[in-house]
Homo-oligomer: A and B are copies of this chain.
Amino acid sequence: MTEKQQEQDMVDAMAQSGWRITDQRRSLARIFSGTEGYLSPKDVYDQMRLTYPGVSFDTVYRNLRMLSEMGVLEQVYFQEGGLKFKANCLHHHHHHLICVNCEKTLTFDYCPMNQMLSLPGNFKIINHRFEIYGLCEECRQDGVSSLD
């Protein structure tokens, strides 16, 4: 999928949820569709200011939260870096390998929920999280040993 298309998908998702499409939100879609890895709120704010010098931090926050709740963005809480955001694939379900050094991610299609035939209790399942953390090939070779 092209970046342009991903950007449009995100904008469409917002519109379908009844949100107004502001320049700032369009800009958010552009930033995330053009970024591979995770971005902190500050990262997003800094990138946004390149285009909208007057953007405010709270607008970034508000929209990051809303986009996450919609499922357009996914978030991961890094021990070291706090909460970060990344564009979520809206087309197919998958999980991630996440490099704890450079935060690069690889996707894989296996989902353990398909295996979960019996669960204890009587939970109504709402969602799930399955992530594998490690060091990617490059970071291994760079001899990164610390985990921050």
**Cβ contact of A128, chosen from B106, B121, B133, B137, cutoff 8 A:** B133
Report the stretch among A37-45, A47-55, A111-119 that lies at the interface: A111-119
For A133, the chain B residues whose CB sits under 8 A away are 125-129
Contact count band on A: 35 or more
For A90, the chain B residues whose CB sits under 8 A away are none
**What is the CA–CA distance of A136 and B147 in the complex, to the nearest angstrom?**
35
Query: Is A125 within 8 A of B120, CB to CB?
Result: no
Query: Is A123 within 8 A of B137, CB to CB?
Result: yes
For A26, the chain B residues whose CB sits under 8 A away are none
- A107 beta carbon closer than 8 Å to chain B: yes
**Cβ contact of A136, chosen from B121, B129, B131, B140, cutoff 8 A:** B121
Query: Is A125 within 8 A of B119, CB to CB?
Result: no
Known A-B contacts A77-B77, A83-B77, A115-B115; A128 and B132 likewise in contact (beta carbons under 8 Å): yes
**What is the CA–CA distance of A136 and B131 in the complex, to the nearest angstrom?**
23
For A60, the chain B residues whose CB sits under 8 A away are none
**What is the CA–CA distance of A83 and B99 in the complex, to the nearest angstrom?**
21
Most buried by B among A97, A110, A132, A137: A132
Query: Is A128 within 8 A of B125, CB to CB?
Result: no
**What is the CA–CA distance of A14 and B18 in the complex, to the nearest angstrom?**
52
**What is the CA–CA distance of A58 and B131 in the complex, to the nearest angstrom?**
30
